[in-house]
Amino acid sequence: MTTATPSPVTTAKLPPVNYERSKAVTLTRRLIYLYLILLIFEGALRKWFVPQLSNALLIVRDPVVIAIYLCAMRARAFRWNGFVISAGIIGLLAWLAGIVVLLDYFPIKGVLLVTTFGFRCNFLHLPLIFVIPGVFDLEDVKRIGWWTILGMIPMALLMAWQFHASPDAFVNRTAGLSEGPSTQIQTSGGKIRPPGTFSFISGAIFYVSAVAAFLLHALISKLPYKNWLLYAAGAALIVAVGVSGSRGAVLSVGLVVASLGVILLVRPDLVTKLGRNLLIVALLLWVISYLPIFREGVGGLAERFTESAEVEERSVVGGLAERVFSGFTEAVTRTPFAPFGGWGLGVGTNGGSAFLMGHSSFLLTENEWIRIIFENGPVLGWAFLLWRVALTFYIGVRAFRALKLGNALPLFIFSAGAFALLNAPLGQPTSAGFAVVFGGLCLAAMRTRDVDLTSDQANGAGALSRPLGRSVFAARLHTPPASVQSNGSVDR
């Protein structure tokens, strides 16, 4: 009897392929975590630990994000969708137009530095919004939320220390090796607006809004967090906002709290889960109101609100509305003053002005939308602004759909990051970082995991998770065999 010799099978080559993809996915995830850590602590490095490297640390996340893209491509988790492709086209045209415009006034070396820096500010980090949901899912976002909530406690203590200290104290020093007095933005009463570990208060504003989003979600979803953590972080959040001296911090947290009303309208069954927690929050607020530093901070905030309303001859609510919408309305009214080709990509950023003038300043305007229009001209400028509007609308609609299917976390994150996506100054590294992180985490929170991220099925951005609202059994029935090639977003 002759025994048939088994022929070689091609499946023997599959484990190495899966193994390589597994390594790429793992490395991509670790690099994203590194990106998040640098986003929180790069300000501390610039201010206290290595101030001599302050300028270099401004772009410390750039090589990290490039490495993320390379690893994501290897893991087949980089999405070449309409948003990424259109942003690339707008960015390339803006870069070329900036070179043409600036060559009449500056040497080619300076022109290339300024326009490349402008491209880096406006466009380099944007694809990360779609890479994050390619390798992260709801459980990963919850894990990030837990660490964010925990970090609020030391962050609030640091902000309270900064608020109490004199403006020229070491803890309040600014980034770099400046020997002059502190240039941190001040609030009323001679106090600075404490930035925490960030370079300036804008980073702290984004952070407290993120904490508010994760904290409210943990409360209404009854996540298995320790009560001491939730209540301590809640108290820390109240203190941080109170001593921030920033109307932006109040508005950002207020917007997250307002989203809770939308969530309760769509999901009224969650009201019962909030009853006891609301009472505890009220008790915490009552106790904290007796802290001298909190009362001083709130007094300064109230003075800022009142003074602003008096100067603008509006009510407090009217002044807040003006602050929120003026950046958008001014862009419309000032568009006719922009040259057709703009003044050059990157000219309106602090880094671009440093390349041209030798020192950082706002050569065009501090308003983000006007900066984009003045840099790129009305055509490319409005094309990019409408791109940001479309992206924000797309993420917001998807977050609302997730809420209707029982997942409230995406809407909480969206409420914390909507204005960052719309109007955050991308020329400021911290603002740009938070804008893409909010967008990416919001999309990632819509994905649930039924398969191992490192398996052969996890070969595309859309293959990570089952559709929200579909049972595990149904997802398995509708999952194609591993041999079927995924075409990413086209398959959907």
10-residue averages of pLDDT along the chain (492 residues): 47 51 92 98 94 91 97 94 97 96 90 94 97 96 97 97 92 76 69 92 96 94 90 95 92 93 85 72 84 89 72 59 77 91 90 74 83 95 97 97 94 96 94 97 87 38 39 41 36 36
* Structural domain boundaries enclosing 240: 16-491
**Residue 19 confidence (pLDDT):** 65
Helix (H, G, I), strand (E, B) or coil at 449: strand
Measured CA to CA, the distance from residue 134 to residue 79 in angstroms comes to: 8
Taking Cα atoms as reference points, which of 87, 36, 131, 64 lies closest to residue 444?
131
| Residue 94, φ and ψ in degrees, nearest 5 | -65, -40
Decide if 398 contacts 173 (C-beta within 8 A).
Answer: no
Burial classification of residue 472, based on how many CB atoms lie within 10 Å of its CB (0-12 exposed, 13-18 middle, 19 or more buried): exposed
The 3-state DSSP class for residue 407 equals coil
Closest CA to 379 of 346, 341, 348, 345: 341
Closest CA to 213 of 464, 445, 465, 467: 445
Residue 75 tokens read as 């893991």
Residue 162 lies in a domain: yes
Query: What pLDDT does 435 receive?
Result: 97
The rounded distance, in Å, linking the Cα atoms of 240 and 232 is: 12
| Domain assignment present for 2 | no
Strand (E) or helix (H) holding 223 = none
Q: Looking at the domain assignment, is residue 172 inside a domain?
A: yes
For residue 448, report the phi and psi dihedrals to the nearest 5 degrees: -115, 155
The verdict on residue 294 lying in a domain is yes
Residue 6 falls inside a structural domain: no
Domain membership flag for residue 280:
yes
**Residue 238 C-beta-side C-alpha neighbours within 13 Å:** 19
CA R_g for the chain: 24
User: Considering all CA atoms of the chain, what is the largest pairwise distance in Å, rounded to the nearest integer?
Assistant: 102
Six-digit token string for 161: 């220390």
The tokens describing 293, both together, are 């530093």
pLDDT value of residue 235: 94
Burial 216-242 (b: 16+ CB within 10 A, else e): bbbbbbeeebeeebbebbbbbbbbbbb
Q: Are 489 and 133 in contact (CB under 8 A)?
A: no
Q: What is the identity of the amino acid at 166? A: S
Asked whether 417 and 435 are in contact (CB, 8 A), the reply is yes
* 99 in any annotated domain: yes
Asked whether 438 and 107 are in contact (CB, 8 A), the reply is: no
Distance CA(322)–CA(319), nearest Å, equals 5
Region of residue 469 (phi > 0: left; psi between -120 and 50: alpha; otherwise: beta): left
Provide the domain count of the chain.
1
What is residue 186's three-state secondary structure?
strand
How many whole angstroms separate alpha carbon 220 and alpha carbon 419? 24
The vertex-455 CA angle with 70 and 477, nearest 5°, equals: 125
User: Residue 120 is which amino acid?
Assistant: R
**Residue 48 CB neighbour total at 10 angstroms:** 13
Inter-residue contact 21 to 74 (CB < 8 Å): yes
Determine whether 259 is exposed, middle or buried from the number of CB atoms within 10 Å of its CB (0-12, 13-18, 19+): buried
pLDDT for the residue numbered 464 = 44
pTM for this entry: 0.85
Residue given tokens 């070969």 in the structure block: 459
Gap between the Cα atoms of 99 and 94, Å rounded: 9
The phi, psi pair for 271, rounded to 5°, reads -60, -40
In a domain, 114, yes or no: yes
In 45-166, alpha helices (H): 54-57, 61-74, 82-102, 108-119, 128-135, 138-164
pLDDT given at position 487: 35
Q: How far apart are CA 269 and CA 447, in angstroms?
A: 23
92 contacts: CB under 8 Å, gap ≥ 6? none
Q: State the pLDDT at residue 302.
A: 83
